[in-house]
Structure 1
């Protein structure tokens, strides 16, 4: 069991440390084949093929890792995403340089049940799609090398066969009722690792500070593989400060090693602290040398101190820090869960660019790359296990939950960014079992809470939305969706204060609302007139549906970026006047796929993100920047809004989101005056202008100043005064072509040829020919079926330098064709 440990930092993107005991590590990214169905067994993946008479399945496809079963079908509007088995195969060279060393396959994550075979012999299996695990293939490789086919059929390579299965299973977490896809595949990196017989299994460090500005203590303990082989060993420990200067170098001889043995207990004066603004990192290197072989590890360590004040705010290193957070799902356009390291790092840097200092990882243990990035960038973390919705299963279910909690804490224990271990999400949501017993759920939640504190007494525990368990965990987040699932966003502060008063330590995670990217509105708050106030702001059963139930913006609103801009703007300005608030986390940073939202404007996509699934920024991104960042910025609302509308001469509001002290707006070169920024002057913190518009084209430019720094932004929009009637016809045109990619735009008009700027019709694109639609991306411009945004929709296609016919259709309107 772990000792009482606090903080450590694993080097950001240090691939050399992919596995703690690794002396030689190789990512197995290429040379794989995959089949999406079940086989009779592993033998079908490796059996010899006779010349001229193939005996294997003909539909293996070449793939690279990471790879997800559901890269595109998760957002295919015409199918349910695949849940079932899939097989992978490859042949690898194995040549371990260590005498009697271990050869291991290290999985950073694979979903959801995985079996590993060398040739046709099963060597390992794992249940759980999000924690790391290993398959020791040492003995199986040695045995296969005795087989004659090793040198004949396989040319000196080792056949590796892996079966992944994401079939629905009520005795597994997460529940398939969850608002995200339970993906299948080897969707994180898979590594081939060589290590000595005696090597590291885990390394734990306790980096603590007595008081800010006082002494720091660094205690390091380790857990070894094959500790019984240790007779006489030498341990070397080195520590470097954040500037790379050596501050400690020591050696010690050890004769025995049991459990998590302590290797170092050391004090240092006034360590440089890890914080969200300045994540100072120390480097710790440890070698263990035994029988002439050496195992090593080099990691980054962070010193910091945090506290959720009872009935108060959050403190980091003795000062109040308002947690400005968001959420992340492991999901991206075109790849599903199989995000590359480059994609992950890009996403995390975008969060930091937006001003994020806190993230809740929903709703499962995520890639070590994510945690390394949080450590390096200065982003605090709530990480949780996937006990999400459905109720409580039996002994197998509960054992998996405890195992995944243990693995999550031990595997990510050393990240200073982590401050919360999450034990569950929406555990008040029944459905998977005939019994829904609140007392049994409470009992199990207590068991998880005790286990978490036993494994790691230094971090807090938390859950979201399970009121009958709020008293069990250290920090609680209720359901507050003011202005979306219930209530009006202007009620947000009052509702939050009421919930704050019910818990000792309150943190608000999950707020916001859906927005269909590129859809805008001249009157976005109209739906609020239908909404009942004073009835709470919590999400309830059925609220995600677009049909039936009480009036709510999620059902009756326009799903425009304009409405969400106001909702976010209001929340952020209120946060600045809530001194008791520890912080919040907007749900989520990026749109993601979900099986329970087929009727959304982009089918099967939760569209609450501030960016789309392909990293395209929505307008909301810049609103957060205007409140959360210091680097001078200014953004005129409406970069994706080409045509506004209204009466001739009608005054229209032009909004600028900026963190600058003042801004001046120019319309077609004419100044409309200077406005001073005031965060409490809603909307747009006072940076708004009423501009009379007449039919025609307008250039809007803002010049904003912060001290001696000046920043600018500008957009061009048309203003339409013609009134439109019922949609009657569609046009389809090519508006751009570059590097073999054509951009096609559909527009919808009434019978007089007037563009219908509030049309939200569902349109469907299709193609016949040698080109290829870029579809099933789960974005506003990458979906074959999509609701219009202001009477238009865009899709891209690969021309392949060939001829194609593209069509667009909408119910009740004649289909049109485009020859390309």
Structure 2
């Protein structure tokens, strides 16, 4: 293995796993989340030999107890010197005598980036890649009693996995065991793991849909059953389709005679009358319950969520279940401030929930595989996704690099192939010149791993892939000629407003004003620049609708850190703490009023505010009042940046600033359906606290992480956007402040990143700034 190292410091990270797995009844195979009680320490390699770290009697009493998801290093808010090095974790797993005779499987959902795993001193795995699962059969390595598992991680720059070295990378990859870890104990006849089985278009459970319609749909289920016993077994597959907790369809296979040490596929085709189809507007999910029986006794079982749907292209336009659908989307990087990638499953859901609430029905997952929990949320919420392998501005002309990419493509599809949310597989290295044969092989892998119709590869070069991802922001204009294939504007709205030689009319602007005209605007940059960002996204999204594109995806949903740069990339429509900017409300207003009625006045309405007041809404008509006086009744704007929009903004020209209250009332067919109010901020008199739970309440015992917002408000509850004070945060038992450095308000709101421990119930949060203070009683499940 040959990999680059950009730092001379080495750090160690050993894990030894401590858990008692009890024997289980035959109808209850055991899968245990083993996120708790990991030992962690940064160790100087020159002082401790690797062979010592692997032993069960190594003294780790002074090591830190941590819980997964875990980051190798807590970083500052602006990450311009991210930790890189070598690290280990350690624990002891206690396996009962009965379980030691069964099948024992171990899975890490992700481990950044090159890992080595030992069990009882024996090397079990060397694995390149930090975004896809590591699945291992430990049956030949474990014994009854204590078992030592040690994992060595290396997140330094790597020539096999890429991408570019961190000092030139446009995002951060962070480190650690930042997703879940699981241990499974099964009988010797079991449902195989799709990744571990390593079978093209096979292994595990694979669900496809030969026929999809509202009247009748056909569900094809391929189940791979392994027999690791020393004799032939008589096996029956029993499968139930469950809807809202009720079994609506049952299948029982004929008896399958499986030879010792062999595996077989069982294929079932089931029909459902009047099925509830999955779509972005109606994300209906079913549960497939699969039971494996040997001589009539259940030895393994698994539940798989699925959704019945078909994605088709007709004249290069997308049809979902036969209905023409435009996908309005966004790109997403998965980092949180301070903890990098180490998000709880709840936090992953909350990120997806915000994207859906912003009015989007689509996400391009840039530029790597993202968490299974995030994918679960996309399935549940109705967010269509493009699922991507790792790749950004890096191609290495070696067999090792190519084989890594090919394996990543196969394993990504095996992991996510049953998800209704996945439209296409981005088996392409973003913004990278790739040889044709390499792209052709990746394209072939997609169609081999997911055979049949209505399966799509995609990439940013249009020569090979089924779908062309055209990053308009990296070209002056949309291409005038496209090959006859579906076309998605995969990135837009940022670079063409930052570079001085790209996009719309920006090539005509002098370089010295590009920052104020940019889409890269922090919340602290003020109303004028936040409104400029909103103007940019409106102009570019409106322009996209001039093209034959079936979708577009703005760059980017959330502000994020960049490995090579000393500031935060601020083109997000929400900041790094997931607080909305004005552009967020523009996108919200583009959804149908039948889905959600939106009305938002985009101003702070103080002496620094523009007197042209923008209202984002999806209503027919808006009335604007100043201090209860009707100023104007208006229809949506008609101008050159609203020609293609279903719901252009409303612009009211007030000519002068009058302190007081603005009220906007929205009407559809003459009936008031919405209202918004903004008041001029007065002197702050108190602090206000609210917690972002976004559909997933704070939960103990899962290493949950939350944003706690603290604002300075006046006597009317209006936030003072000019407040920049430091906030002292005092947390009750079970909560931990993660922030590096002081908690300081930006545009009137400070954010505390809080980790939830293992204490449930009501926990106080007390905040103080000068003579302002308040206490919030926070409930934890």
- TM-score, normalised relative to structure 2: 0.76
Q: Please say if residues 208 and 303 of structure 1, whose CA atoms lie closer than 8 Å, have aligned partners that are also in contact.
A: yes
Q: Please say if residues 32 and 182 of structure 2, whose CA atoms lie closer than 8 Å, have aligned partners that are also in contact.
A: yes
Aligned equivalent of 1:636:
600
| From 662, 674, 687, the counterpart of 1:700 | 662
Q: Please say if residues 75 and 340 of structure 2, whose CA atoms lie closer than 8 Å, have aligned partners that are also in contact.
A: yes
Aligned equivalent of 2:338:
334
Query: In structure 2, do the counterparts of structure 1 residues 797 and 427 end up closer, same or farther at CA, with 3 Å as the change threshold?
Result: closer
After TM superposition, the structure 1 stretch with the greater mean CA deviation from structure 2, 330-339 or 675-684, is 675-684
Secondary structure of the 1:399 match is helix
Q: Please say if residues 42 and 161 of structure 1, whose CA atoms lie closer than 8 Å, have aligned partners that are also in contact.
A: no
5+ unaligned residues in a row in structure 1: which ranges? 1-20, 50-54, 146-156, 429-437, 488-494, 515-524, 539-547, 721-732, 746-756, 806-820
Give the deviation of 1:664 after TM superposition: 1.4
Query: In structure 2, do the counterparts of structure 1 residues 637 and 223 end up closer, same or farther at CA, with 3 Å as the change threshold?
Result: same
Secondary structure of the 2:410 match is helix
Give the deviation of 1:217 after TM superposition: 2.4
Q: Please say if residues 241 and 281 of structure 1, whose CA atoms lie closer than 8 Å, have aligned partners that are also in contact.
A: no
Tell me how far apart the structure 1 counterparts of residues 130 and 239 of structure 2 sit (CA, whole Å): 36
| From 405, 422, 425, the counterpart of 2:409 | 405
Tell me how far apart the structure 2 counterparts of residues 167 and 797 of structure 1 sit (CA, whole Å): 27
5+ unaligned residues in a row in structure 2: which ranges? 1-26, 195-203, 522-528, 691-707, 713-720, 755-763, 771-781
Give the deviation of 1:305 after TM superposition: 1.7
Aligned equivalent of 1:198:
189
Matched, 1:168 2:157: yes
Secondary structure of the 1:238 match is strand
Tell me how far apart the structure 2 counterparts of residues 425 and 764 of structure 1 sit (CA, whole Å): 44
Aligned equivalent of 2:560:
592
The C-alpha deviation readout for 1:279-303, integer Å capped at 9, x for no partner, is 2333322211237561112223322
Query: In structure 2, do the counterparts of structure 1 residues 472 and 259 end up closer, same or farther at CA, with 3 Å as the change threshold?
Result: farther
Query: In structure 2, do the counterparts of structure 1 residues 643 and 774 end up closer, same or farther at CA, with 3 Å as the change threshold?
Result: farther
Tell me how far apart the structure 1 counterparts of residues 502 and 141 of structure 2 sit (CA, whole Å): 66
Give the deviation of 1:337 after TM superposition: 0.4
| From 171, 176, 197, the counterpart of 1:180 | 171
Give the deviation of 1:165 after TM superposition: 1.3
Query: In structure 2, do the counterparts of structure 1 residues 67 and 734 end up closer, same or farther at CA, with 3 Å as the change threshold?
Result: farther
Aligned equivalent of 1:581:
549
The count of residues paired between Structure 1 and Structure 2 equals 674
Secondary structure of the 1:453 match is helix
Query: In structure 2, do the counterparts of structure 1 residues 173 and 204 end up closer, same or farther at CA, with 3 Å as the change threshold?
Result: farther
Aligned equivalent of 1:11:
none
When Rg is computed on C-alpha atoms for both structures, the one with the higher figure is: 1
The C-alpha deviation readout for 1:364-395, integer Å capped at 9, x for no partner, is 12222122222222221110111321222311
Query: In structure 2, do the counterparts of structure 1 residues 702 and 447 end up closer, same or farther at CA, with 3 Å as the change threshold?
Result: same
After TM superposition, the structure 1 stretch with the greater mean CA deviation from structure 2, 203-212 or 340-349, is 203-212
Aligned equivalent of 1:725:
none
Give the deviation of 1:406 after TM superposition: 0.9
Aligned equivalent of 2:538:
569
Aligned equivalent of 1:462:
458
Query: In structure 2, do the counterparts of structure 1 residues 802 and 71 end up closer, same or farther at CA, with 3 Å as the change threshold?
Result: closer
Aligned equivalent of 2:652:
689
Query: In structure 2, do the counterparts of structure 1 residues 237 and 709 end up closer, same or farther at CA, with 3 Å as the change threshold?
Result: farther
Matched, 1:615 2:578: yes
Aligned equivalent of 1:479:
471
Matched, 1:553 2:514: yes
The C-alpha deviation readout for 1:50-75, integer Å capped at 9, x for no partner, is xxxxx9588632221010124425x4
Query: In structure 2, do the counterparts of structure 1 residues 403 and 46 end up closer, same or farther at CA, with 3 Å as the change threshold?
Result: closer
Aligned equivalent of 2:143:
142
Query: In structure 2, do the counterparts of structure 1 residues 535 and 565 end up closer, same or farther at CA, with 3 Å as the change threshold?
Result: closer
Give the deviation of 1:239 after TM superposition: 3.4
Tell me how far apart the structure 2 counterparts of residues 503 and 555 of structure 1 sit (CA, whole Å): 39
Alignment of 1:353-368 (within 5 A): 353-368=357-372
The C-alpha deviation readout for 1:217-264, integer Å capped at 9, x for no partner, is 222222234456562323233333645342233242100376661331
Tell me how far apart the structure 1 counterparts of residues 219 and 238 of structure 2 sit (CA, whole Å): 12
Matched, 1:68 2:71: yes
Secondary structure of the 2:95 match is coil
Query: In structure 2, do the counterparts of structure 1 residues 632 and 381 end up closer, same or farther at CA, with 3 Å as the change threshold?
Result: closer
Query: In structure 2, do the counterparts of structure 1 residues 251 and 85 end up closer, same or farther at CA, with 3 Å as the change threshold?
Result: same
Secondary structure of the 2:655 match is strand
Q: RMSD in angstroms over aligned alpha carbons? A: 4.3
| From 511, 514, 521, the counterpart of 2:492 | 511
Tell me how far apart the structure 2 counterparts of residues 697 and 89 of structure 1 sit (CA, whole Å): 62
Tell me how far apart the structure 1 counterparts of residues 272 and 55 of structure 2 sit (CA, whole Å): 61
Q: Please say if residues 171 and 561 of structure 2, whose CA atoms lie closer than 8 Å, have aligned partners that are also in contact.
A: yes
Query: In structure 2, do the counterparts of structure 1 residues 174 and 735 end up closer, same or farther at CA, with 3 Å as the change threshold?
Result: farther
Secondary structure of the 1:376 match is helix
Alignment of 1:782-793 (within 5 A): none
The C-alpha deviation readout for 1:169-190, integer Å capped at 9, x for no partner, is 2222333344211221100000
Tell me how far apart the structure 2 counterparts of residues 302 and 793 of structure 1 sit (CA, whole Å): 40
After TM superposition, the structure 1 stretch with the greater mean CA deviation from structure 2, 328-337 or 398-407, is 328-337
Tell me how far apart the structure 2 counterparts of residues 705 and 535 of structure 1 sit (CA, whole Å): 34
